[in-house]
Structure 1
Amino acid sequence: MKTIYIVRHAKSSWEYDGIKDIDRPLKKRGINDAHLLSKILAKKLKKPDVFVSSSANRALHTAVIFCENFDYPLSNLQIKRQLYSFSDGYLVKTVKALDDGFSSAIVFSHDHGINTFVNKFGNKPIAHVPTCGVIGIKFNEKHWKDIKKGTTVLVEFPKYHR
């Protein structure tokens, strides 16, 4: 049995001229939402075995906040440049390449890839995963590379808790 938690990075800022997209920081609201949701989930969920993040600043900052509130060592946070993608292709490849020693994982990524992933692999239609939204999907497979359709076991959005 494998469980994946997919997190869309928290709300980011567009207010800096000339900054590359990959370097965009979180807005204050994004920082607050990441703390809010990660504190709630840290009490509700068993700590995932591995944390994996896109290398984009906004995803990485979200992951760092989750690590802090889940008491997960930052030195163990895996950073994957290929997750800085807006299709589900690299997200699927990243999840399917996870070490089978991990029964659960939390992955921090981006908008379009997440929406496609959770609808392709989960059994609950989700029209749109908002910033800092977290979707959990449980799979009956023994190996990450074999995951197919799973069961959506968690849908958490910051607006549910504000």
Structure 2
Amino acid sequence: MTERKPPEQTFETWVDKQIRLAQERGEFDDLPGAGKPLPGLSGPYDEMWWIKDLIEREGLSGEALLPTPLQLRKEIERLPDTVADLTTEKAVRETVHELNSRIVDWIRTPSGPPVPVSPVDADEVVRRWREDRRPGRRRRPWRS
């Protein structure tokens, strides 16, 4: 719609006319969700509904929305689980190296809130990986 409101018409009258003309042309026919109740009306009001809808629509996880240093911290916390199924020390070291590269990149060009993140000690990860692979050992939570 590129038509402008004539100066002699009130805004409400002009808008009503545009809607009526669009209805007559059938522009509102067969819209998705036509005849269905609006989603979310049956539950309690949630002022964050639009953010939750955006996250779901875009297929984002909560972690993807975190600032980079917090994402890196989460990866460090999950590192024992990440390397647990790897079969060689070389694979463990490569995984730690890739994570450390991203940590160093963030340290060099920080953006967002100042959250301290440090590279991971590959030797310590390999030591824990070996220890956790021994028969009868239970994996302990990661402590940096």
Could you state the TM-score of these two structures normalised by the residue count of structure 2?
Answer: 0.23
Q: Which has the higher strand share?
A: 1
Please say which structure displays the higher CA radius of gyration: 2
Higher relative contact order (CA 8 A, sep 6+): 1
